[in-house]
Amino acid sequence: MTERPSFQKEVSNLMSVLDGNPIDVCIQCGTCSASCPAVEYMDYSPRHIIALIRSDLKDKVLNSDTIWCCSSCYNCTVRCPKEIKITEMMYALKRYSIWKHQYREGTIGPAFSGKFVRMVVKTGKSYEPGLAPTFMFRYGIRGMIDNMQMGMSLFNKKRIAIIPKTVKRIENFRRVLNRIIPIGVEK
């Protein structure tokens, strides 16, 4: 009978493909947390998330907002004295959370990620106006107005289009994408 790997081992396996140092070399210095511009929005700092993973507290990690608050700025990764790819760890945890369908109810991140991937599969690129309506109402009237003003400003500067454009040879793109992440190709 094979033994089920610990949560730390599962996360380490996800990170090993990235050629980053495993989280078990973390010295808990807190440089990652001190470098993070989004730490004030997180329920656990990046250092604390590593400690939770190492303690095999999977539910606590996956039900936290921390992985969804990561701004992917790479400050933590660049400044880590042990060269742990913390930003990549956050991405791995997001993928793991979605794969296992384990995250706190009402969390925007998984729904946003799913919609984003479906959009990229369909058109070959991101299309912000297609994403915004799904999420802008969650921030009330003020948030909706702010998003609409920003959208109009981007449209006036020709930074976004009204109708999404599709990349050339979309079928080739979908075949390549399906080799990387096996997803049902929606048209």
pLDDT band for 84, please (50, 70, 90 cuts): very high
pLDDT at residue 133, rounded to an integer: 74
Give the count of beta carbons closer than 10 Å to the beta carbon of residue 121: 19
pLDDT of residue 17 exceeding 70: no
Q: Which domains does the chain have, with CATH numbers?
A: 7-99 (1.10.1060.10), 108-180 (no CATH)
Give the count of beta carbons closer than 10 Å to the beta carbon of residue 82: 16
Instruction: Give DSSP secondary structure letters for 12-37.
Output: HHHHHTTTPPPGGG-----HHHHH-T
User: Mean per-residue pLDDT for 94-116?
Assistant: 86
Name the E strands within 106-170: none
